[in-house]
Amino acid sequence: MNNPLGRSTSKPDQQAQNNNQKNNRAKEFEKQLQEEERMLAQSAGIINNSQQTNNQQQQSAYQQQQQLNQQPQSVFGSIGQMLDAPRKLFFRNNLPQQQPTQQGQRQTTDQVESDFIQINTVQIYQTRDIKSIGLEIVQPGEIALQEIRGQCFIPTQSFQGTIIATNYQILFLPDKFPKDFRKDYFHIPYTLLIKVEKTMDRKQNDANFIEISCKDGRGFKYKFLKEQNDDCNSIFNVINKNAFTLNKSTLFAFTFYKEQSQLENDFQGWKIYNIEKDFERMGINILQENSQIQNGLFKYVNNENGIICSTYYNRLIVPAKADLDCIQKTAKFRSKERIPILSYAFQVNGKVISMWRSSQCRTGIGQNRSTEDECYLKYMSYQTVDEQESQYEDKEIRLRIYDARPHINAFGQQVAGKGYENIMFYRKCSIDFLDIHNIHKVRDSQTKLLKAAFSENTQFLTQLEQSFWYDHIVAIIRGSARIAITMTKEKINVLVHCSDGWDRTAQLTALVSIMIDGYYRTIEGFMVLVQKEWINTGHQFCQRSAIGNKQNNDDSRSPIFLQFLDCVYQMQQLYPLSFEFNQKLLFDLAYHHLTSLFGTFLCDSFLEIQKQRIMEQTVSIWSWIIKQKDKYLNAFYKNPQSIDQDVIIPEQFSGKSITFWKEYFLYYSLESNDTYQIHPQCQSTYDNIQQMYKTLSKENHVLRQAQKDQEKLAILHQQKFNQLMQIIQETQNEEIIEKLQTIQLI
């Protein structure tokens, strides 16, 4: 009968007998463990002896590693015949066996445990020339660290093959590659990973699994047999160490630079942006920092080492009439010290129309004021050097503030001591809210969209609608169009901000620049724009892309830059003749801003780029793009002057204007893959038509030139012939004239 208190009701003799049996089993188990430790120690000794022998024979490093890989396998085979007992992890690439501190002295339990932990965390990886594996897509400087046979599961299929961990990516090489898959389908750069988990088959207890999830929606599950537990642990540690490193210097971009430094030296991508040249091109005069001239609207201010704002570029453009005290006090009144700075300007009829960007102000619930901030915005509203307030009526708007947030969100920020401008205190200003949602809403939308893209569910359109991704896209483009109309038609200066001024603000100012200025729709101009409005002005690429973050840390991750690229894609579909670059440029930027192959997107500010010497140790993506510029050319591009459409503003943009960016979101989707390989083989695809058009245009130009040359030559020959006939007739040589008449030349 069971005792409700949980105490034993067996007799004392039976209890003693049970205890003896337990003690005997424990002793047997301890002997098994000791025997296994002894055999493991012997195997380690074998490995050490083989290493010494290999060193004496001076064999190549690769041959040494192959011998190390082979010898322990026989040892594990003998161990496998032992009784089932818990095994310590024993990697194929073993660490040297540690000796006791004194001869004949056994290590304490604490020492053994610390050494065991060290063996599991500190590893000496195998290295192998990755080209010998047979991979088609290999980056310069990429080497294989671990290889293991296994099975790869995706939602609809499974494959036998080899899992390979390199210093850049984790990839799977199927024994038979499926023809309907893209070549890089199984290639995942480490910083593209968002989640890595190791699990066991708890039902059968005969296999281990590593599950990974990617930021582009792909998901993989690798299966390993029970006897591969050591290799499984090893490759799991390699993935975790490379995917979630907190030390940027260990990212592959630094290795890539060692192999491709000449690429950066040749094309100088890090120097693509020059603030003075950019505003000179706009025709805007900016006074130098130490200029004694007072006749100007704008001036440069030194921001070296972030003395004004740590997340801005090292040179800022501010109103010329704002002195240093006004600038510093305005910075204190703005979130993150991000004061309003000049983003873009153009001249019309002697006036300068300008666009400024900043963060929210610190008004709080108490409606705090800053007279310096109010004065600063007044200076921003000026469009001429000698402008006076008396020129305009009291109710006339001279500066329109566009707050990217929904009004309720901006109002709620007052609880945290922030908020938005109170128009009662900012004279001749108005404020509009653009209802663009925050990073958390955008992240949730992308998650739903990617789930729909890789789902077997047939309700894709319904799921796409429920993701609300394109509701956000519509809001951004419509907001940008409103700002562009205010500047171009109403001729009013604008200030754009959101919360901290580095997410939605960057989207809006960059899109407005594209709409107004055709230069930013060229390849060079677009690179300058991204460098200026995103990288130099403090978009947090590292946090938004979750590069260098701990696993499952999603608080700051959000596809803000991808959202901007999708907006540019929508503009390309609406105005296909107005962009010099095609969608391949957008696709490569969307992919590589997550891969850590280049240093361009590794940091959260320009100051961080400087402090970590990123420009000196990595390749800029702009160098890589400039090198293969022809790949990104739009064959149908018409220079704005030739089509008389320099300004392109989609005033009526709505959900009906949307084109789904399937080339990106469905790039790896099997349902959208080209089963018949039409794209690479057929010469009638969209891209190939563009290339054919471009080639035919060149050939046509050559033929026209040759025809013109031939016509000129024919005229010249006719002239010479006429001269010859005239000379013959003048000589009155009857015999020659008779022969010419015979052949009907006269």
Angstrom distance (rounded) from CA 400 to CA 391 = 18
Confidence of residue 110 (pLDDT cuts 50, 70, 90): very low
Range with the lowest mean pLDDT among 258-262, 334-338, 633-637, 740-744? 740-744
Task: Report yes or no: 266 and 620 within 8 Å, Cβ to Cβ.
Answer: no
Angstrom distance (rounded) from CA 54 to CA 68 = 10
* pTM recorded for the entire structure: 0.75
Average pLDDT of span 105-119: 40
Structural domain spans, the chain: 27-121, 128-244, 267-673, 690-742
Q: What is the mean pLDDT of the chain?
A: 81
- The tokens describing 507, both together, are 């989207």
Range with the lowest mean pLDDT among 121-135, 283-297, 558-572? 121-135
Confidence of residue 497 (pLDDT cuts 50, 70, 90): very high
Q: Which three-class secondary structure state does DSSP give residue 222?
A: strand
Choose between 670 and 569: higher pLDDT: 569
Average pLDDT of span 77-93: 34
> DSSP character for 406?
-
> DSSP character for 336?
G
Q: Which three-class secondary structure state does DSSP give residue 331?
A: helix
Task: Report yes or no: 192 and 592 within 8 Å, Cβ to Cβ.
Answer: no
Report the side by side order of strands in the sheet with 493-497.
341-348, 351-358, 493-497, 399-403, 429-433
- The tokens describing 41, both together, are 């120690």
Rg (CA), the chain: 35
Range with the lowest mean pLDDT among 99-103, 436-440, 515-519, 596-600? 99-103
Task: Report yes or no: 352 and 328 within 8 Å, Cβ to Cβ.
Answer: no
Angstrom distance (rounded) from CA 737 to CA 733 = 6
Give per-residue pLDDT as tens, 529-547: 999 999 999 999 999 998 8
pLDDT of residue 2: 42
- Residues annotated within the binding site are 438-439, 498-504
Average pLDDT of span 110-125: 40
pLDDT of residue 698: 77
Confidence of residue 677 (pLDDT cuts 50, 70, 90): low
Place of tokens 């055999």: 39
pLDDT of residue 706: 87
pLDDT of residue 395: 72
Amino acid 121 reads T
Task: Report yes or no: 612 and 209 within 8 Å, Cβ to Cβ.
Answer: no
Place of tokens 């998650």: 447
DSSP string, 245-293: -S-GGGSHHHHHHHHHHHHHHHH-GGG---HHHHHHHHT--EE-TT---
Confidence of residue 85 (pLDDT cuts 50, 70, 90): very low
- Residues annotated within the binding site for substrate are 438-439, 498-504
Amino acid 699 reads E
450 CB-contact burial (10 Å; exposed 0-12 / middle 13-18 / buried 19+) = buried
Q: By 3-state DSSP, what share of the chain in percent is helix, strand and coil, each rounded to 5? A: 50, 15, 35
For 128-244, CATH gives 2.30.29.30
* Total residue length of the chain: 746
List active site positions: 498
Range with the lowest mean pLDDT among 125-134, 425-434, 499-508? 125-134
Q: What are phi and psi of 219, to 5 degrees?
A: -145, 140
Angstrom distance (rounded) from CA 143 to CA 717 = 67
Place of tokens 């000129």: 712
Range with the lowest mean pLDDT among 400-414, 430-444, 703-717, 719-733? 719-733
pLDDT of residue 20: 62
Whole-number Cα distances in Å, 606 to 336, 541, 718: 15, 11, 69
Closest Cα partner for 47 from 21, 73, 26?
Answer: 73
Q: How many CB atoms lie within 10 A of CB 162?
A: 17
pLDDT of residue 641: 64
pLDDT of residue 601: 96
115 CB-contact burial (10 Å; exposed 0-12 / middle 13-18 / buried 19+) = middle
Angstrom distance (rounded) from CA 473 to CA 140 = 37
- Backbone φ/ψ region at 185: left (φ over 0), alpha (ψ -120 to 50), beta: alpha
Closest Cα partner for 622 from 547, 534, 523, 506?
Answer: 523
Average pLDDT of span 412-417: 92
